[in-house]
Amino acid sequence: MPGLPRARSVLAVCAHPDDESFGLGAALSALAEQGSEVAVLCFTHGEASTLGASSGPLHEIRAGELSAAAHVLGLSRVELLDHADGSLAEVPLEVLSGEVARLAAEQRPELLVVFDLGGVTGHPDHCRATEAALAAGALPVLAWALPDRVARALSDEFGGVFVGRTDSALDLSIALDRSRQHQAVACHGSQAGDNPVLLRRLELQGDREVFRWLGPM
């Protein structure tokens, strides 16, 4: 299978601070290293998380963590919006897609990067962020996905709903260096400190990431 697509400019659309690192970190750092200008649009401050709440106001803490992680990943721009964490499904889709379109008009990306349909973890905010990116216009949309075997293992070990894809549903399977991703994950101390699911997922994935095309190639 081919490697990551070449693009002068890339826009990643996600729901929470840490999505750009925990999920997309290996891909975004690789895109930056191969010469893409990579921007991230994040819809919420992640203030509703059950992790790290005792460390202070998550609204502020997670904004700072996102900024630090973006520097590690080599991102050119981060735009952090202030929609309520956990409630993106209640925001009209045209509002969210309009925000994606606005930033796309400024960045002029050749590629959007998102979580797979189903949000990978099943989180409704993840699903809505991907919906917004798809509704924003006719750009190629590359979705980060989980292999079915990894999703099944996580569901068996931790419960919850992890959405995986069979090999036949995947378009790209790429070996990526995770060193910058691990450094970016460490920037999100409020969320990474007690997160066995994340550690197990990265262990199961090894150095390989898989993707699907959701928009026109």
Residue 217: predicted pLDDT: 56
Q: How far is the C-alpha of 172 from the C-alpha of 149, rounded, in Å? A: 16
- Tell me, yes or no, whether 180 lies in a domain: yes
Supply the CATH number for residue 20's domain.
3.40.50.10320
- Tell me, yes or no, whether 203 lies in a domain: yes
- Tell me, yes or no, whether 144 lies in a domain: yes
Residue 51: predicted pLDDT: 83
- Please name which of 73, 158, 166, 79 lies closest in space to residue 121, comparing C-alpha atoms: 158
- Tell me, yes or no, whether 4 lies in a domain: no
The burial class, CB within 10 Å (0-12 / 13-18 / 19+), for 2 is exposed
- Please name which of 127, 140, 158, 136 lies closest in space to residue 213, comparing C-alpha atoms: 140
Residue 207: predicted pLDDT: 96
pTM > 0.85: yes
Give helix 25-33 / helix 179-187 axis angle, nearest 10°: 120
Q: How many domains does the chain have?
A: 1
Its domain, for residue 21, covers 9-213
- Tell me, yes or no, whether 1 lies in a domain: no
Determine the 3-state secondary structure of 46 from DSSP: coil
Residue 1: predicted pLDDT: 47
- For every one of its 217 residues, what pLDDT tens digit does the chain have, with 9 covering 90 and above? 468 999 999 999 999 999 999 999 999 999 999 999 999 999 999 898 888 777 778 899 999 999 999 999 999 999 999 999 999 999 999 999 999 999 999 999 999 999 999 999 999 999 999 999 999 987 999 999 999 999 999 999 998 889 999 999 999 999 999 999 999 999 999 889 889 999 999 999 999 999 999 976 5
- Tell me, yes or no, whether 40 lies in a domain: yes
Element (H, E) at 126: helix 124-135
- Tell me, yes or no, whether 2 lies in a domain: no
**Amino acid letter, 8:** R
- Tell me, yes or no, whether 154 lies in a domain: yes
